[in-house]
Amino acid sequence: MELICPICNGLQSLKAVCPQCGQLLLDGGTIEDYWGAYSPYVDKDTLHTNQYGEQKYCVHLIYCPECYYDIRKAWEMVII
């Protein structure tokens, strides 16, 4: 059994509207994608691990291509 992100793996789709302008929000990928070359040195508390050290959530940057509103949303990992 393996834990995977339902958004990263296409099991769910993002259906959200921007609260500022009404456009559809887009998935900008996981926040880890934005960390860059030094990501191994970033505080690991942002990975949202459970008590066993497993990553329980996958946090994505969700953004509006029209007005540049953005939020972070965590999806719970699912077992496959």
Q: Which sequence spans correspond to the domains of the chain?
A: 3-79
Identify the burial level of 53 via C-beta atoms within 10 angstroms of its C-beta, where 0-12 means exposed, 13-18 middle and 19 or more buried.
exposed
Structure tokens at 63: 């953004």
pLDDT at 56: 86
Name the band, by pLDDT with cuts 50, 70 and 90, for residue 74.
Answer: very high
Give residue-wise pLDDT tens across range 21-65: 999 999 998 888 787 777 645 554 445 555 556 678 889 999 999
Write down the pLDDT at residue 31: 85
pLDDT-derived band at 80 (thresholds 50, 70, 90) equals confident
Please state, in angstroms and as integers, the Cα–Cα distance from residue 46 to each residue in 15, 24, 50, following that order. 24, 26, 12
Residue with more model confidence, 73 or 31: 73
Kindly state the DSSP code that residue 11 receives in the 8-state scheme. S
Rg (CA), the chain: 14
